Amino acid sequence: MHPNSKGIVLKYLKQFNIPIADLEIGTHQYDFKIDGKFFESFEGSEINKCHVILHLELLRQIEIIVLQFHLKGTVELICDRCLDPFDLPIDHTEIVELKFLSRGSKAKKEEEDYILPEQQEIDIRQYIYDFICLQIPFRRVHPEDKNGKSMCDEEVLRKIEELSIKKDTDPRWDQLKDLQNN
């Protein structure tokens, strides 16, 4: 990576740090464009291309901050069946509550997120990454068109069908299978 490009990436990622030190009580709105550059900062990320708009609504209260993430757009995936890329649509909302920890107190539950008294900002990158990744299905295949037909590469599907045609089996194995079924 070119030394100057690292600075550009860091500048890009800094936008995902929301300042909270002087944030007034009330609702605050933020909009972000999430693209492939965002996922470059996560080692081992399977996502290279995406076009997602994040609308973040932050509700600042005295003892808590509520973050409502609304993600809408597409993530490019590779089809498990035909190996061609396709766009997976995403439209997801998630809410995160962050409680202010008072000076000298300790977090009560590990599963809750806290804001430390000296904390000046909230880094929302991990939340965004997790929420997008959780929208990706385990089995990634092209969606079907409105007629219920697969949108996979037809030539690849034909080749898979040719290769999966049952070959003649050795009759001795068939006899063993018959014994297993009894």
pTM of this structure? 0.79
- The helix/strand/coil state of 90 is strand
State both tokens at 162.
Answer: 């040719």
The model's pLDDT over 107-156, given as tens digits with 9 standing for 90+, comes to 555 556 888 878 899 999 999 999 999 999 999 998 888 898 888 888 88
CB 87 within 8 A of CB 140: no
| Torsion of the alpha carbons at 145, 146, 148 and 149, rounded to the nearest 10 | -40
Residue 152 makes CB contacts below 8 A (sequence gap 6+) with 79, 81, 82, 84, 141, 142
